[in-house]
Amino acid sequence: MNTAAILPSRNEPATIAAVTTAVDAALGDTGAVIVHADSSDSPETAERFAATGTGAATVPLTGLVRGKGAQILAAARCPDLTGADAVLIADTDTRNPDPAVYAALLERVRAGAAFAIADYPRYWDEANLTNHLARPLIAATTGHDVPQPLAGDLALSREALDAVLRAVEALPSKVSACVDGYGIDAFLLLTAATVGPLVSLRLDEPKQHAGSFPHLPAIYHQAVPVLLHLTATCAPPPVPPGSGPALYRAADRHVEAARLQPMLTTLDSFGPYLGGYDEQPWPLPAADAWHAVNSGTPAPDAAHRLWPHYVRRVTDWLTSGQHAATRQRAETLAAAHARLHTAVLTPTGA
């Protein structure tokens, strides 16, 4: 099976070489190709990629329009990827890249998966969009409970990648703009789910990479419209009889007050709550947003109305989570996961 890799980057000169080396080792094929899709503010990241020795052929794409999705799609359309049957996509800000992880993702695709994605534990104060919204919403509406649906390390089959390139052309313009940014992760997964099996690769250690909290508004406003748009037409699966709670892994660590308080202050600065905040308990506002899009509301509009509720949820989580035990945090996330599924199954107004 022919393999290839896409490395989207922006200003990652400190990590691009190590990631490239690890990916090259995972490909293990002199006929493979690594496409570097770069939108950095300076040439340093591209220069370090070019200076990294690889067995695979390399294709540098520089000066691309900024946006993780736009960069990945530009690489996916590259003629050099035409013959690839399995394509790896890897985050380039990873500080401890493991070639065994990349190789295992590719192996899952070779074994028949349309899409394979890393499932590493996240620290309790991270992965807020994943834990509070993306994972439970995808599970409730599609039946695919993927622990880390927005993870940046994944592999796709040729059929899945072709489906992605076709599907992106049919998106409404505002949703397409979101896919060009951080909405790409949800788009890849949910599109691949229409082609074949989704597989999660369970890992034991948290990934060491740049934190996403500073980009929370951008990530939310680009990822959530895609999530809502692509799940709105799904028929929610019934809750299986006797099914147990979803298993969440919220890795423990102490968060100093000097770090936590600025996070809470930042969240508070995102107010005031547009249109009023009615204290409807989470995750009911998320279910309302899904029902709204299901009834014809444009996904970006529904995501905008959901934003203040989401910010409140993250604020409450960080405030209470600092005093909770690891097990309590996991149980809280699992309970909200189940409530969202029930709320999605409940008709609007019932």
Instruction: Report the SS3 class of residue 253.
Output: coil
Asked if 188 and 230 count as a contact pair (C-beta separation under 8 A), the reply is: no
Neighbours of 230 (CB within 10 A): 26
> What is the pLDDT at residue 213?
77
> What is the pLDDT at residue 341?
93
pLDDT in tens, 48-59: 999 999 999 999
CA distances from 117 to 120, 155, 282, 342 (A): 10, 7, 27, 26
- Alpha carbons 162 and 203: distance in angstroms, whole number: 28
Asked if 277 and 147 count as a contact pair (C-beta separation under 8 A), the reply is: no
Domains of the chain, first to last = 3-224 (3.90.550.10), 250-345 (no CATH)
Average model confidence (pLDDT) across the chain: 93
**Paired sense of beta strands 3-9 and 86-89, if any:** parallel
- At 273, the pLDDT band (50, 70, 90 cuts) reads low
Neighbours of 178 (CB within 10 A): 27
Asked if 27 and 5 count as a contact pair (C-beta separation under 8 A), the reply is: yes
Q: Is the pLDDT of residue 272 over 90?
A: no
> What is the pLDDT at residue 207?
81
- Alpha carbons 72 and 69: distance in angstroms, whole number: 5
List the structure tokens of 322.
């600092």
Average pLDDT over residues 307-322: 93
Average pLDDT over residues 136-162: 96
What percentage of the chain reaches a pLDDT higher than 90?
A: 81
Query: Sign of the CA dihedral 211, 213, 219, 220?
Result: positive
Q: Phi then psi for 174, rounded to 5 degrees?
A: -70, -35
The secondary element (H helix, E strand) that includes residue 308 is helix 299-321
Lowest mean pLDDT among 138-152, 206-220, 251-265: 206-220
> What is the pLDDT at residue 276?
52
pLDDT in tens, 75-119: 999 999 998 999 999 999 999 999 999 999 999 999 999 999 999
- At 238, the pLDDT band (50, 70, 90 cuts) reads confident
**Paired sense of beta strands 33-38 and 57-61, if any:** parallel
- At 338, the pLDDT band (50, 70, 90 cuts) reads very high
Q: Is the pLDDT of residue 242 over 70?
A: no
pLDDT greater at residue 331 or residue 273: 331
> What is the pLDDT at residue 239?
73
- Look up the pTM and report it: 0.94
The secondary element (H helix, E strand) that includes residue 89 is strand 86-89
Instruction: Report the SS3 class of residue 286.
Output: helix
Name residue 92's amino acid.
T
The secondary element (H helix, E strand) that includes residue 342 is helix 326-345
Lowest mean pLDDT among 10-14, 121-125, 225-229: 121-125
